Amino acid sequence: MTDYRRLRVALLGAGAVGSQVASLLRRHGDELADRAGAHLELVGIAVRNPDAPRETDLPRELFTTDAEQLITGADIVIELMGGIEPARAHLLHAINSGADVVTANKALLATHGPEIFEAADQVGAQVYYEAAAAGAIPIIRPLRDSLAGDRVQRIMGIVNGTTNYILDRMDSEGAEFADVLADAQRLGYAEADPTADIEGFDAAQKAAILASLAFHTTVPLDAVHREGITGVDKAMMDAARHAGYVIKLLAVCERLTESSEVRSTSSGVSRYASAPLLDNRTAYRDAISVRVYPALVRRDHPLASVRGANNAVFVQAEAAGNLMFYGAGAGGVQTASAVLGDVVSAARRHIAGGVGVGESTRANLPILPIDAVTTRYQITLEVDDQPGVLATVAGILSDGEVSIATVEQTVRSEPVPGNGGAGAEPASDTVARLVIGTHKAREANLSATVDRLAASGVVERVVSVLRVEGD
């Protein structure tokens, strides 16, 4: 074999991803050496308990509790511990010891990314994190490098496998949220505490990472508007299907331009300073919005056909047009693929020399609050089925600057046996369902209008308010 230089690789964490990374590093060592131009020597694996039973054939002597010592002298450090501490401290230590670092830690990058990137810049190290968003799907390099000469206008991502699995089964089986969630937990698609997934926290972290890359702007996690899927029920799913839509939890990263306004620029102290957050009515020329919520997606949109626990990222760029990246969003061995790609890249960079390329954040675009975002909406109301109700509802919408695109009215009688059902003459106890599709409306206007609808005498119940994305 070629006489390659040896690079010392330290692994932090031996969970589902870490054990696969270690195993593949050892199993495909010669192959990876040929690709990297360096022998990748796994020098140790830092874990809390080296003697814990593990489903791997990794030799016991690789394991250590002394992460700090393992990191010292390593050329490449792979952080797969998850969580903020001690992962953050270890990564900073690794960077300051001269190592390049590979991490899949989206929570850490979404909250402490600037600190990590800044430290890497100081010493010329490089941070690799292909596995931190959308698992095995190569999306970081396409955004960071391939699209670096283009202007990304919009990303719509299905970036959380658990919620897509749940929504997909609700859609295809007509099942209720709680039943599918319980099933997903039993099958290992959802964790015992599913909060991070179903409340959209995981997707929000990934959205912050993708938006930072796409818009060359440091997007802090708290600038990401987040709603989960716990409010999505069978009735909403059925109504969506009936109207030709499917409900997906989307991470939407959008660039907005108001050509007539003057951009409010703020010059950050650090290259990685967070972008300024605009309030609702500040004028801007270019701004961005980053948000996670369940939204209606037309059945013929490519994202609608993303089934099960898969992920997909749909990117619209000024020059490139529409692109989509599809694949497994999670899973130990799938994520290990992304991690190992980063390890090979880090090794190649080590051999090639030069300093790391920092993150591109200098666009520093201001970030809009959700109230200033405009989207289309679908509002479903239960109203008294009486003359003049539609006129009242339309008037409230019009007063609120929400323009109606479509209205569908269905009459639903109370289920009195022998009554004749939906075809009977409307009586005063009959309820009509109004499904209103709006033109693009400003969120602030929309939510104020929905409040006024709910308080009006004619609306019995606001059944659902969903944004429509991807038209």
Q: Which two tokens stand for residue 230?
A: 């716990």
Diameter over CA atoms, the chain: 88
The candidate with the shortest Cα–Cα distance to 255, out of 344, 152, 157, is: 152
Taking CB under 8 A as the binding criterion, the range among 81-89, 236-244, 274-282, 346-354 that sits at the site for its own copies is 346-354
CB of residue 181 to its own copies, shortest distance in Å: 24
**Window of 110-118, 157-165, 351-359, 446-454 that interacts with its own copies by CB under 8 A:** 351-359
Q: Can residue 77 be called a binding residue for its own copies (CB under 8 A)?
A: no
Tokens of 261: 């306004």
Q: Is residue 24 at the binding interface for its own copies, with CB under 8 A as the rule?
A: yes
Determine the interface stretch with its own copies among 182-190, 218-226, 338-346, 396-404 (rule: CB under 8 A): 338-346
**CB-based contacts of 94, cutoff 8 Å, min separation 6:** 10, 71, 74, 77, 79, 101
Q: Is residue 20 close enough to count as binding its own copies by CB under 8 A?
A: yes
What mask, x for binding its own copies by CB under 8 A, covers residues 134 to 153?
--xxx-xxx--xxxxxxx--
From CA 279, how far away is CA 370, in angstroms rounded? 10
Residue 2 vs 428, nearer CB to its own copies: 2
Comparing C-alpha atoms, which of 281, 166, 167, 295 is closest to residue 225?
295
What separation in angstroms does the CA of 175 have from each of 166, 183, 420, 457?
Answer: 9, 11, 28, 33
Paired strand residues for 321? 317
Q: How far is the CB of 259 from its own copies (least distance, A)?
A: 15
Q: Which of 237, 317, 373, 389 binds its own copies (CB under 8 A)?
A: 317
User: Could you say which of 352, 418, 428, 457 contacts its own copies (CB under 8 A)?
Assistant: 352
Which of 57-65, 247-255, 330-338, 397-405 is the region at the interface with its own copies (rule: CB under 8 A)?
330-338
Exactly one of 273, 277, 320, 407 binds its own copies (CB under 8 A); which one? Answer: 320
Q: Is 234 tagged catalytic?
A: no
Long-range contact set of residues 195-201: C-beta below 8 Å, sequence gap at least 24? 197/160, 197/162, 197/163, 198/162, 198/163, 198/166, 198/228, 198/229, 198/230, 199/226, 199/228, 199/230, 200/160, 200/163, 200/226, 200/227, 200/228, 200/229, 200/249, 200/292, 200/293, 201/226
Q: How far is the CB of 298 from its own copies (least distance, A)?
A: 14
Question: Using the rule CB under 8 A, which residue among 76, 239, 339, 383 binds its own copies?
Answer: 339
User: What is the 8-class DSSP label of residue 112?
Assistant: H
**What's the Rg (C-alpha) of the chain?**
25
Residue 178 tokens read as 């709680």
Q: Which is nearer to its own copies, 8 or 141 (CB)?
A: 141
35 part of the interface to its own copies, by CB under 8 A? yes
Do residues 197 and 191 touch, judged by C-beta distance below 8 A? yes
Q: Quick one: 364 or 374, whose CB is closer to its own copies? A: 364
- Would you count residue 325 as binding its own copies (CB under 8 A)? yes
Q: In 10 A of CB 122, how many CB atoms?
A: 11
Whole-angstrom distance, CA of residue 181 vs CA of residue 165: 9
Q: Kindly name the residue from 106, 206, 234, 440 that is annotated as catalytic.
A: 206
**What's the min distance (Å) between Cβ of 58 and its own copies?**
17
Give the number of other CB atoms < 10 A from CB of residue 462: 14
What distance in Å separates the CA atoms of residue 431 and residue 386, rounded to the nearest whole number?
Answer: 9
Number of residues engaging its own copies in binding (CB under 8 A): 65
Choose, by CB under 8 A, the member of 157, 161, 276, 356 that binds its own copies: 356
Should residue 319 be labelled a site residue for its own copies when binding is judged by CB under 8 A?
yes
Contact 181, 198 (CB under 8 A): yes
Closer Cβ to its own copies, 334 or 449, answer by number: 334
Q: Smallest gap, in angstroms, from Cβ of residue 288 to its own copies?
A: 14
DSSP conformation class of 189: S
Interface map 206-245 toward its own copies (x if CB under 8 A):
----------x-----------------------------
User: Of residues 322, 398, 403, 419, which one binds its own copies by CB under 8 A?
Assistant: 322
Q: Which helix (H) or strand (E) holds 245?
A: strand 245-257
Q: Cα–Cα distance between 365 and 213 in angstroms, integer? A: 12
Q: Which of 89, 235, 355, 405 binds its own copies (CB under 8 A)?
A: 355
Residues assigned a catalytic role: 206
List residues binding its own copies (CB under 8 A).
Answer: 2, 20, 24, 28, 31-32, 34-37, 130, 136-138, 140-142, 145-151, 216, 302, 305, 317-328, 331, 333-334, 336-345, 348-349, 351-358, 360, 362-363
